[in-house]
Structure 1
Amino acid sequence: MSDHDDLVADQQRGRHNSSAAASSRHLPWAASSTEAYFRAAAAILSTPPDGLQPDMSATLLKRYYGLEGSIAVLSSEVERTAEVSLSDGRQLILKTSARREAIDSFRFQSAALAALQDSAGFAAPTVIRTSGGALMFEEEGISGYLQTRVEGVSLHKVTPAPDLLFRTGSALGRLDLALAQINAPAAHRPILWHIGCWSRLMELEEHLPSGSVAESVRTAMAEYMRFVEPQIQNLEWQVTHNDPSPFNTIVTGQGLGFIDFGDGCWSPRIQDLAIAASHVVADPTLPLGGAEHLIAGYAAIVPLSALEARLLVILMRARQSALILVNYWRSHLFPADAQYIKKNVARAERGLTILAPLSAASGEAAVLAAVSQP
């Protein structure tokens, strides 16, 4: 039986799921895969970053939290992120925006972080409530929330030793187990990084450089359309981080931590693993480029279903391609910020090249071999 026949058979078996399971998975997928959702999500990332006045962060910090400190603005794609240093040595992160769509994003982020506060096995920021006890604030078109800063070193600055990658995967698995218990508000808001948008991302291919990268992207996205889309409703869906990249993964003294939940949403659980694994494909001597270790760590906490193991490499390549497409497009829109926007592109291009030789069957075999290691 061919790879495609296997997948079709799985799809047919999946139709026997209960109506309750269908309701929880199929309806969100239908909403996120519409043209209207894609256009709304693309509009958000085609708008210039928020331009609040530099002193506004200090005003909001004092007004809603009664705090004062030195403020440094950090790089960010949509919202305004500022690092706050208090006189007592504490460092906090204040996220603010004057954009309407940020309200739903902040509602999601602050609620998800509040729900994760007592979870074990990973670190995450803690939301600091306003003086009135709210998770976030809104006033005259400006919204935001305050959180603690996770102390440590970003994973992209650390040598990715096998043990560290295994522990990263395990921590991500524990994060997903915790997120599965959350019913966060605004989890279905438009996000271009949502898997429901991927079938339309090839509209952006005109911004790709000609050559092997563009060809690899076309191949990967066609493979996604052929193998994953017919099966995506049969995956386990839940609230996910949706961007556990090395920039958002922190190596701390107490283990691994995760920050920046701004792309978090309701999506297939396996997406978090596919995204994290796609970023660590770097060693051409290994079938999965070194992602084997992260995948094994995740599967030790959240065992993969047969369908998840079968689709994982295809999802990894599609995510690498989505990252390449979106960031070349945004670099065209905002050339002055191209260096920041494309910070992950070279890694994605290299990873896509390493994974390109794998067929659907050999990719599945490599994943199964990774998770079976002691």
Structure 2
Amino acid sequence: MSSEVERTIEVNLSDGRRLILKTSATAEAVDSFRFQTAAMAGLQGFTGFVAPEVLRTTSGALMFEQEGTCGYLQTRIEGMPLHQATPTPDLLFRTGSALARLDLALELVSVPAAHRPVLWHVGCWSRLMELEHYLPSGSIADSVRVAMAEYAEFVEPQLSDVAWQVTHNDPSPFNMMVTGQGMGFIDFGDGCWSPRIQDLAIAASHVVGDSTLPLGGAEHLIAGYASVIALSALEAKLLVGLMRARQSALILVNYWRSHLFPADAQYIKKNVARAEHGLSILAPLGVASGEAAVLAAMSSFQP
């Protein structure tokens, strides 16, 4: 599509294997592909989650660069995207614990270009309100303003005090797969150096949907993550603010991008309705009540 800098093609081999070929003719894709291929290659051998495998070129390289085009070939994870599965408490718990194991592995992986510019990097969020005029007026725009103001004033100044590492940075329900071998994670294109809790905040923000629970059902995913990686007191305090800011960032960026690429608007906004609904559920929580809800989730929800 015109809105995407990477082209993804499914490759079906005569022996029945299904692979994914990613290519791009843009200069910025070189560093992105270097990051993606190194991350996936480095994850091989770790357990507790499933990740694609990069198939090396005949010369042994992880990717190719030729005549202005770069790309790589990877295995395809067979399974069901999380957004198509029934989000039971057990499944969300297992998703959270698998994500934590992914983060433990990524912490040990050496990758190039982890500090390259990434639109979805948490460092960009405080400037995203420049896109506010693309939002339709109403309660969602009001909630976005409140969430981003809280992020700029309370959350962002404290992020330097939490653990940072290489992260996936986009564990959305489209990039998390339910497989027979466990939870799988695909599309490392937004991966970068960021707060580790960012991965939890992103994944949790996407599963907020049950208005009868304080965190909308994200309690189960948070509990699963915390069963593997204990959250610090500061991380527990910042998590809901990060979740709301991520929902708001998704809303802002995708309304803007759908304005730039109207033909692709349906695809671009595929996560927006979920983010808007989730933000409406989390909006009533203050800093203290949000922290209390996270702590309660960590102590009360088991698989």
List runs of 5+ in structure 2 lacking aligned partners.
Answer: none
How much does 1:183 deviate?
A: 2.2
Tell me how far apart the structure 2 counterparts of residues 326 and 168 of structure 1 sit (CA, whole Å): 26
2:161 corresponds in structure 1 to 234
Secondary structure of 1:281's partner?
coil
Tell me how far apart the structure 2 counterparts of residues 255 and 185 of structure 1 sit (CA, whole Å): 28
TM superposition outliers: structure 1 runs of 4+ over 3 Å: none
Tell me how far apart the structure 1 counterparts of residues 154 and 163 of structure 2 sit (CA, whole Å): 17
1:137 to 64, 86, 89: 64
Secondary structure of 2:216's partner?
coil
How much does 1:182 deviate?
A: 1.5
1:194 to 96, 113, 121: 121
2:45 to 118, 126, 129: 118
Tell me how far apart the structure 2 counterparts of residues 229 and 162 of structure 1 sit (CA, whole Å): 30
Tell me how far apart the structure 2 counterparts of residues 228 and 282 of structure 1 sit (CA, whole Å): 23
1:307 to 203, 214, 234: 234
1:213-269 deviation per Cα after TM superposition (whole angstroms, max 9, x unaligned): 100000000000111111011110000000000000000011100000000000000
1:86 to 13, 34, 39: 13
Tell me how far apart the structure 1 counterparts of residues 5 and 224 of structure 2 sit (CA, whole Å): 32
Tell me how far apart the structure 2 counterparts of residues 188 and 357 of structure 1 sit (CA, whole Å): 35
How much does 1:309 deviate?
A: 0.2
How much does 1:48 deviate?
A: 3.7
Secondary structure of 1:298's partner?
helix
TM-score, length basis structure 1: 0.80
Q: Does 1:325 align with 2:268?
A: no
1:291 to 218, 225, 230: 218
1:264 to 185, 191, 204: 191
Secondary structure of 2:100's partner?
helix
Tell me how far apart the structure 2 counterparts of residues 225 and 204 of structure 1 sit (CA, whole Å): 15
Secondary structure of 1:143's partner?
strand
Q: Does 1:343 align with 2:280?
A: no
Tell me how far apart the structure 2 counterparts of residues 278 and 101 of structure 1 sit (CA, whole Å): 28
Q: Does 1:356 align with 2:283?
A: yes
Q: Percent identity?
A: 78
Q: Does 1:101 align with 2:28?
A: yes
Tell me how far apart the structure 1 counterparts of residues 38 and 77 of structure 2 sit (CA, whole Å): 17
Q: Does 1:150 align with 2:77?
A: yes
1:168 corresponds in structure 2 to 95
- Superposed, 1:178-217 pairs within 5 Å as 178-217=105-144
Tell me how far apart the structure 2 counterparts of residues 254 and 234 of structure 1 sit (CA, whole Å): 35
Tell me how far apart the structure 1 counterparts of residues 107 and 68 of structure 2 sit (CA, whole Å): 32
1:316 corresponds in structure 2 to 243
Q: Which protein shows a greater Rg?
A: 1
1:159 corresponds in structure 2 to 86
Q: Which has the higher contact order (CA 8 A, sep 6+)?
A: 2
Tell me how far apart the structure 1 counterparts of residues 191 and 37 of structure 2 sit (CA, whole Å): 11
Amino acid at match of 1:226: E
Amino acid at match of 1:295: I
List runs of 5+ in structure 1 lacking aligned partners.
Answer: 1-46, 50-76
Tell me how far apart the structure 1 counterparts of residues 107 and 114 of structure 2 sit (CA, whole Å): 12
Tell me how far apart the structure 2 counterparts of residues 360 and 117 of structure 1 sit (CA, whole Å): 39
Tell me how far apart the structure 1 counterparts of residues 156 and 266 of structure 2 sit (CA, whole Å): 32
- RMSD of aligned residue pairs (Cα, Å): 0.9
How much does 1:140 deviate?
A: 1.7
Q: Is the 8 A contact 2:20 2:75 kept in 1?
A: yes
How much does 1:192 deviate?
A: 0.8
How much does 1:141 deviate?
A: 1.1
* Residue-pair matches, total: 301
Tell me how far apart the structure 2 counterparts of residues 267 and 280 of structure 1 sit (CA, whole Å): 21
